[in-house]
Amino acid sequence: MGVDALVRKVLEDVGIRKERYDLQWASAAEAPRFVQLITGFTERMKELGPLGEAEGLSQEEIKAKLEKALAVVSDQKVRVSFGNAAKAVRKDAVWTPEHIDEVVTTKMAKTLDKALA
């Protein structure tokens, strides 16, 4: 719940285009949907070009930003904050992606800012 909101936020905050990440679900019975999802994502990545190109970053800069993003999502305080955001979503019982994104963003803002500093 909300993991995709957290990943998008962290990628955006470290300077990697959020379009490079997409989490969608398809069951084994949804082969046409799976093909559509993969084809669409592949086309978007072709349009953006190699990782770093659309962001205007060198390979060294991209590597450093990805390492920073990994450190942020691995941080214990960030993980606890995410757990608290997940509890808030469950309490609200509003399951729209927009609501989950808003809760994750607002509940985790201070923690993410400190982790990214």
Helix boundaries (H) for the chain: 3-14, 31-48, 59-74, 76-92, 97-116
Helix (H, G, I), strand (E, B) or coil at 57: coil
pLDDT at 1 over 60: no
Q: 56-110, pLDDT tens digit by residue?
A: 999 999 999 999 999 999 999 999 999 999 999 999 999 998 898 899 888 898 9
pLDDT digits (tens, 9 = 90+) for 12-44: 889 999 889 998 888 989 999 999 999 999 999
Is the pTM here over 0.85, yes or no? Answer: no
- The C-alpha atoms of residue 51 and residue 64 are separated, in whole angstroms, by 13
Q: Sign of torsion, CA 17 48 56 58?
A: positive
Query: Structural domain boundaries of the chain?
Result: 1-116
